[in-house]
Amino acid sequence: MKVLVVGGAGYIGSHMVKQLARQGHDVVVLDNLSTGFRSLARYGKLVVGDLADTNLLEQLFQQYTFDGVMHFAAASLVGESVQQPGKYYRNNVSNTLNLLEVMVRHGTRHFIFSSTAATFGEPEYVPIDEAHAQTPINPYGASKLMVERILQDFYNAHGLNSVCLRYFNACGGDPEGDIGECHDPETHLIPIILQAASGRRSHITVFGRDYATEDGTCVRDYIHVEDLCSAHALALHALNAQQLKGALAYNLGNGLGYSVQQVISAVQKVVAEDGKEVIVEEGQRRPGDPATLVADATLAKEALDWRPQYADLETIIRHAWAWEKKVVLSAE
């Protein structure tokens, strides 16, 4: 297939591009490189540009006939979305609308959207399934939910088939150590702990040990980036084979919850093999951190025949640690 991957130079998008290329697909990457890296997009043809540029989008769709589009190009920092909501509604909603309208004009009818568990807001129960109420508590989650609604309307009006994949905590890296997580600033727990182990940070902070969990620290569902990408690939194949149609949405997670302390302990075990350690400091709770967020991904497993291959926390950490060591070595 000919596939357009928007945001294919970022963390999840670059892993997606590599996986698609390995499967024999022809991939075009559209990325403005604001948070992505040219070096990570080397498995597809890179076009540097922005979804706000409707002329560029028209040129792309005139030049190529795409069998499907995958969209990873969202702004995704919750705190920033509260401070700069306009940026999030403009980039995550308006720019996505630009893309969808061009797709409709050029007859491209298969769309895979990177959504988020943030559309659910504060959990009413766990694990969270697709029937859970969607009441986002920040502009980031609200912007993603708006796109989900737009996709339903575009299916009704234009027959544009879509699959929204709502992920919980993406983590890990390419098992071959070829590409990995490169956020600046980094906000994800596992790479933050690994940076403390490698010396790129002095310490990590645990924000609260008084939650209603087994060890008092927050519990999250960590899903390997390769498993996320395999779900996207399966969804695209299902749409192209006409096995799925409509505006569909599935949760992606392992269904396993690991506490912050469990993650720290697992990292300490892995990095100790290299003679490294992690300095841990204590902090106060952060507002808006639910005690537990765990996915029920039953529907994705049934509809896509999807099974996570890297659910083990230590395996996730080892893949991420291999990338962190590579980053540190390249900087020396």
Taking the mean position of all CA atoms in its chain, how far away is CA 263? 19
Domain span at 197: 189-220+255-331
Kindly state whether residues 228 and 207 are assigned to the same domain: no
Kindly state whether residues 214 and 283 are assigned to the same domain: yes
CATH for 146 = 3.40.50.720
Kindly state whether residues 205 and 62 are assigned to the same domain: no
Asked whether residue 153 is domain-assigned, the answer is yes
With beta carbons less than 8 A apart as the criterion, state whether 292 and 257 touch.
yes
Q: How many domains are there within the chain?
A: 2
Kindly state whether residues 242 and 274 are assigned to the same domain: no
CATH for 324 = 3.90.25.10
Asked whether residue 177 is domain-assigned, the answer is no
Q: In this structure, what are the phi and psi dihedrals at residue 220, rounded to the nearest 5 degrees?
A: -135, 160
Kindly state whether residues 234 and 298 are assigned to the same domain: no
Kindly state whether residues 65 and 147 are assigned to the same domain: yes
Asked whether residue 245 is domain-assigned, the answer is yes
228: tokens are 């996320």
- Considering the candidates 43, 140, 258, 310, report the single residue annotated as catalytic: 140
**C-alpha torsion 240→246→252→255, nearest 10:** -120
Kindly state whether residues 25 and 113 are assigned to the same domain: yes
Name the region of 33 (left: φ>0; alpha: ψ -120 to 50; beta: rest). Answer: left
Closest to 225 measured CA to CA, from 173, 276, 298, 281: 173
* 43 catalytically annotated: no
Taking the mean position of all CA atoms in its chain, how far away is CA 214? 27
In sequence order, which residues have a C-beta less than 8 Å from that of residue 167 and are 6 or more positions away? 114, 115, 116, 117, 223, 228, 251, 252, 253, 295
Kindly state whether residues 44 and 132 are assigned to the same domain: yes
Domain final residue pick, 201, 231, 252: 252
Q: Give the amino acid at 206.
A: V
Write out the DSSP string of 55-84: HHHHHHHHH---SEEEE------HHHHHH-
Digit-by-digit pLDDT tens for the chain (332 residues) are 999 999 999 999 999 999 999 999 999 999 999 999 999 999 999 999 999 999 999 999 999 999 999 999 999 989 899 999 999 999 999 999 999 999 999 999 999 999 999 999 999 999 999 999 999 999 999 999 999 999 999 999 999 999 999 999 999 999 999 999 987 788 899 999 999 999 999 999 999 999 999 999 999 999 999 999 999 999 999 999 999 999 999 999 999 899 999 999 999 999 999 999 999 999 999 887 889 999 999 999 999 999 999 999 999 999 999 999 999 887 76
Asked whether residue 180 is domain-assigned, the answer is no
Kindly state whether residues 208 and 112 are assigned to the same domain: no
Kindly state whether residues 150 and 136 are assigned to the same domain: yes
Domain final residue pick, 233, 252, 271: 252
